[in-house]
Amino acid sequence: MGGYYIIFMSGLRASFAQDFYWGTSTSAYQIEGGGSNTDWWRFERAVGTPAVETCGVACDSWNRYEEDLDIAASLGLNAFRLSVEWARVEPHRGEIDVAVLEHYGRVLDACWARGLAPVVTFHHFTLPLWVADAGGFESPDIVNSIAHYARVVAEALGEKIAFACTINEPNIVAQMGYLYGFFPPAVTDWARFRAVNETLRLAHRAMVDALRAGPGSYPVGLALSMAQYVSVNGGDERLASLRREMEDEYLKVVQDDDFLGVQCYTRHDIGPEGMVWDFEGERTSMGYRYWPQCVEYTLHRAAQMTAIPLVVTENGIGTEDDTQRIRYLAEALEGLRRARRGGVDVRGYFQWSLLDNFEWTLGYGPKFGVVSVDRNTMTRSLKPSADWYARYVRHGPSPTANGEGSRRRPGPTLPELTD
Ligand code: GCO
């Protein structure tokens, strides 16, 4: 009898409590400030790395999280994505900082108190120094150490989690860190890039098992960076090998997860030598294409390759021009609606990002926020795109892309996704 019960239970997927989640996405290092115990902090200070500036206090959200959550709630959102910093939780191997876990417990409580379902990412780009010094994702030991960290956090916070992402964009960790040398540890080597991807997939699986052990029963998935890849000048072969490493191998290992987090920003043109940057057409401040069509495209691709629910855990645009952001979001969300109408099982959308924050190697240059942050006073100010997003969430799409004249209906209409 017990055996049947276990078989039955293991076939069950944790399900989502809401029909549709509307949120914004953030990560610990990019907004909290003071991430001094991480590989990134050291990378920003090392001579010869491409990092343009240091993270420092970021948005001081370690101290100002209630203000941030007030803003998110005021937009009418029902979810908030954040990450827990491993380097704070376990500053040295095996040494757990209980005060840090209590802090994150207060952050999750503060989310629920405002009607925001907390979506917790366990690893978002940064490693504790002791992990990086032990070889980071090139050491097989990391699979056990990251699963142990996930277990410790889940044991403390599991009951407060709405759903969880194990690792944020493992494929970008591998690509930027081991193929392009743009992230720590600044390696450029195809074989090492592939090996790190493999280790990251093992780490993901070990973390899923750790989180499913409870307490709490919440959907667990991976947040994968996806893009619309287009072959140019005969780049078919190159495209196939890049996409296999960046997407397909990951899509194979997520089949048993509760959902897949799809993160997309753009389209990449791939020629025989790799990424082609010389193209006609509109760009974002990241240098890549303005391509809101990527949402509809990647949702369809993910739906073709997996049989699990999807959540857009990140989408947005780095731009100084907030009207460009509104246009981008309107087009991206239109694509999401079309995909949903076409039968794609998509359960949420998280705009990247609530605040203008630390954009890794590019520092504070690119502005992804719907809220700006004064770098001297830390004052938060809503941009027109914040109001636009709030109206969209409450009332659905407006007849014009700039949000003028939106169809106002009385009362909260969350989740508003059917036409
Ligand atoms: C990523 C990360 C975010 C970025 C965002 C904008 O995709 O690189 O998840 O940390 O800030 O994507 O580039």
Cα(206) to centroid(ligand 1), Å: 24
Helix axes of 322-341 and 294-305: crossing angle, nearest 10 degrees = 30
Question: How much is the pLDDT for 398?
Answer: 67
In contact, 249 and 241? CB cutoff 8 Å: no
Query: CATH 1.10.3260.10: does it fit domain 21-395?
Result: no
- Residues with Cβ within 6 A of ligand 1? 27, 30, 168-169, 172, 225, 263, 314, 352, 359, 368
Question: How much is the pLDDT for 204?
Answer: 98
Shortest-distance Cα residue to atom 4 of ligand 1: 359
Question: How much is the pLDDT for 17?
Answer: 85
What are the domain boundaries of the chain? 21-395
Provide the residue-wise pLDDT of the chain in tens; the chain has 419 residues: 333 434 344 446 788 888 899 999 999 999 999 999 999 999 999 999 999 999 999 999 999 999 999 999 999 999 999 999 999 999 999 999 999 999 999 999 999 999 999 999 999 999 999 999 999 999 999 999 999 999 999 999 999 999 999 999 999 999 999 999 999 999 999 999 999 999 999 999 999 999 999 999 999 999 999 999 999 999 999 999 999 999 999 999 999 999 999 999 999 999 999 999 999 999 999 999 999 999 999 999 999 999 999 999 999 999 999 999 999 999 999 999 999 999 999 999 999 999 999 999 999 999 999 999 999 999 999 999 999 999 999 998 865 444 443 333 333 334 445 44
Instruction: Express each pLDDT in 106-117 by its tens digit.
Output: 999 999 999 999
Cα(8) to centroid(ligand 1), Å: 38
